Structure formats: C-alpha cells, structure tokens
Amino acid sequence: MPSKYRAFKEAADRIVELERDLAAAQEWREAVLNELIVAHIYTKEHDTNPRKAIQDAINWNCQIALDPAVSSDARKLIAAAREARQRAEALAERRLAEAQALVKDHATILDALERAEALAEQNAKDAKEAIAIAGFLFDAWEDGTPCFETDGESGMGASIGNAFKLSNEDFTRCTEFLNRVDPRGAAIDAARSQP
C-alpha cells in the first residue's frame, strides 16, 4: 500500500502544482486583458489569442510612450531632433556660404587669369607691332635725305640725320599705336601742341 499512497501523493502534489501554474497563468491573462480593457482596445479575439493580446498591449504602450502629448520622454526626443535638425541646417548654411565664397573667389581668380592672359596676348601683339613700326621707321630714315647743320662761314656742316616722309597710312599706324599703349603721353603731347 505504501507505493499506492506514494503514487497518490505524487499525483496530488502534481495537481497542486498545476493548479498553482494555472492560477499564475490566469493572473497573467487577467492582467493583460485588464490592460487592454483600460486602454479601450479589448476585443473578443484577445480571449482566445494570447499572442495578439500581448502584442496589442505592447503596441499601445509604445504608442503612448511615443506620444508627445502624454510622454515627457517623447517631448525630449522631439526637442532633441529639432535641435539636431537646426544644428544640421546651420552647418549646411555655413558650408553653403563657404562654398559660395570659394566659387566667388574661384570666379575672381579665373577672371583675373583671363584678364592676365588677354593682357599678355595684347602685350605680345604690341611688341610685334612696335618692332614692325620701328622697322619701317628705320627703313624710312635710312632711305631718307641726309641733313647737315652748316656753319655760316665755311658752308660745311655736321650730319644731323636724315629727313624722311611717312605715308599717311604709316603715320596713322604709329599714332594709333602710341595713343593705345601710351594714352597719357599722347594727352600730354596733345596739350603741349595747343597754343
């Protein structure tokens, strides 16, 4: 009989243990369902689908936790996000201003380089023109009529150079070149020539 008693005792202990587990499970079920009822999201399906009941309770609590009207943590999170956005916008504005300044500086440098290149090109043309003018002036001088300064008594004199005449085209070429490369000198000469 002792073995029957032991089997009976073990079965009774097992029943008590299962009843305790069932009571704990029932307590959990009631807690989850009460949470759903308090949140006004309870449906009949929650009675038979414990996973959905727990998932809906968690989702509802997450929504409340993220609602800035209810949660101070959510308000802090939103404020932090706004602050981060403002810092990012300010940084973007600074970087844009810096980039615009660089572009402006770059454009200024490119403009200066283009002007320098144009000036260098003009200087090269002017040098060629000056050499050409000097060449035809020298040729005209060399082919010109020799001129002498004579003293009154002997009729002999020393050479003072050659006289030559320029064509209107050559004269205009010289004056336009001088007026372009030395406008101040041209203005001074023009002022001197006026009575």
CB 58 within 8 A of CB 46: no
Answer yes or no: is 80 within a domain. Answer: no
Host domain of residue 35: 2-66
Answer yes or no: is 57 within a domain. Answer: yes
Cβ partners under 8 Å of residue 144, min gap 6: 161, 162, 163, 164, 165
Q: What is the pLDDT of residue 109?
A: 86
Q: How many domains does the chain have?
A: 1
> For residues 162-180, b (16+ Cβ closer than 10 Å) or e, as one string?
eeeeeeeeeeebeeeeeee
Answer yes or no: is 170 within a domain. Answer: no
Q: What is the pLDDT of residue 93?
A: 92
Instruction: Please name which of 159, 122, 118 lies closest in space to residue 141, comparing C-alpha atoms.
Output: 159
Answer yes or no: is 163 within a domain. Answer: no
Answer yes or no: is 156 within a domain. Answer: no
Answer yes or no: is 32 within a domain. Answer: yes
Answer yes or no: is 35 within a domain. Answer: yes
Q: Please report where in the chains the tokens 């144009």 appear, as a residue.
A: 118
Q: At 188, list the tokens.
A: 């001074």
The rounded average pLDDT for each run of 10 residues, N- to C-terminus, in the chain (195 residues) is 76 87 86 88 89 90 82 84 91 89 85 88 88 86 82 71 86 86 69 65
| pTM for the whole structure | 0.40
Answer yes or no: is 54 within a domain. Answer: yes
Q: What is the pLDDT of residue 161?
A: 82
Give the 3-state secondary structure of residue 39: coil
Cβ partners under 8 Å of residue 8, min gap 6: none
Q: What is the pLDDT of residue 87?
A: 92
